[in-house]
C-alpha cells in the first residue's frame, strides 16, 4: 500500500472519476475524506468503505467547494476526524458545451467558480495543516484541452488553463514548506457523465483515432498517475502537469 494511513481529501468524489479516485486511494491504504454537494452519494460511499474495513477509513462531507465557509468546514472536519491532512485532490469540475457567442456572463462566472475558485479555496484551506506537518501533496485536475483548445468549451478550457498557472505558481511559493503541487491533464474519459455530451459515435472514434494508444480512455487510466503524485515517489517533483490522454496531444 503506497498511501498507508495518509489522509487525503477528494473533492467531487460522489460519482464519476472522483469516486474512482477515492476508491483507489482507499485500496492504497489512505484515509479518504470525500466531499461533494451530493450528500447521499458521499454518505453511501463512506458507509460501504467503512463496513468493509476494520477501522473507519472514509469520511463523507457534504460541501459546495465554491463556498469559503463550507470549504473551511470541510478541512476542519477532516482534521478533527483524522488529525491531519496529507493530500488534497482538487477534482470537482464543470464542463458544459456551449458556443462562445451563446455563453452568458453568469454561465462564464459559474464555470470559473466551480473549476478554479474551488481549487483556490480548497488549497488555501488545506495548506496550513500541511505546513504544520512539514509536508503535503496537492493534485489539481486540469484537462489535455489546455494544450489544443476545443470549440464550444472556451470557458472550461480557460478555467483549466488557469489551473496550470495556479499549479506552477503555488508550487514555487509553498515548496519550501515541503508541499508539492502538481496537476493531471486527462483526455476525454469515455463514460464520464457529460464529458462527451452530445457527441456522436463517429466523434468518439475520431478522438481515439488521434491517440497514439488506439482505445477509449477509462477512469482506471488516471488512477496510477494520481497515486504516484500523492505518494513519496514524487517527493522531488512539483509544479508539473502530467498529461494522460493516450498520446492525443503529443507534439
Catalytic residues: 156
- Report the candidate in 161, 158, 153, 160 with the shortest Cα–Cα distance to residue 103: 153
The C-alpha angle with vertex 65 and arms to 88 and 56, in degrees rounded to 5, equals: 55
DSSP category for residue 152: T
Count of beta carbons in the 10 Å neighbourhood of residue 17:
24
CA 188 to centroid of chain Cα atoms:
14
User: d(Cα 199, Cα 26) in Å, to the nearest integer?
Assistant: 33
Instruction: For residue 190, give the C-alpha cell.
Output: 469515455
Amino acid at each position: 500500500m503506497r498511501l498507508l494511513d495518509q489522509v487525503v481529501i477528494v473533492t467531487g468524489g460522489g460519482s464519476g472519476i472522483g469516486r474512482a479516485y477515492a476508491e483507489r486511494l482507499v485500496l492504497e491504504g489512505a484515509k479518504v475524506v470525500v466531499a461533494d454537494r451530493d450528500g447521499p452519494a458521499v454518505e453511501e460511499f463512506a458507509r460501504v468503505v467503512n463496513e468493509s474495513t476494520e477501522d473507519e477509513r472514509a469520511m463523507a462531507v457534504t460541501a459546495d467547494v465554491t463556498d469559503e465557509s463550507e470549504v473551511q468546514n470541510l478541512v476542519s472536519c477532516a482534521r478533527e476526524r483524522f488529525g491531519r491532512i496529507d493530500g488534497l485532490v482538487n477534482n470537482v469540475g464543470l464542463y458544459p458545451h456551449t458556443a462562445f457567442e451563446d455563453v452568458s456572463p453568469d454561465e462564464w462566472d459559474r464555470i470559473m467558480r466551480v473549476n478554479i475558485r474551488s481549487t483556490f479555496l480548497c488549497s488555501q484551506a488545506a495548506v496550513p495543516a500541511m505546513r504544520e506537518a512539514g509536508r503535503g501533496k496537492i493534485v489539481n485536475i486540469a484537462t489535455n484541452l489546455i494544450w489544443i483548445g476545443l470549440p464550444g468549451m472556451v470557458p472550461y478550457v480557460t478555467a483549466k488553463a488557469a489551473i496550470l498557472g495556479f499549479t506552477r505558481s503555488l508550487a514555487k511559493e509553498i515548496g519550501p514548506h515541503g508541499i508539492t503541487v502538481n496537476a493531471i491533464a486527462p483526455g476525454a474519459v469515455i463514460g464520464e457523465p457529460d464529458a462527451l455530451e452530445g457527441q456522436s459515435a463517429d466523434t468518439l472514434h475520431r478522438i481515439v483515432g488521434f491517440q497514439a494508444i488506439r482505445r477509449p480512455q477509462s477512469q482506471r487510466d488516471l488512477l496510477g498517475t494520481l497515486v504516484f503524485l500523492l505518494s513519496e515517489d514524487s517527493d522531488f517533483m512539483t509544479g508539473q502537469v502530467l498529461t494522460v490522454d493516450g498520446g492525443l496531444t503529443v507534439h
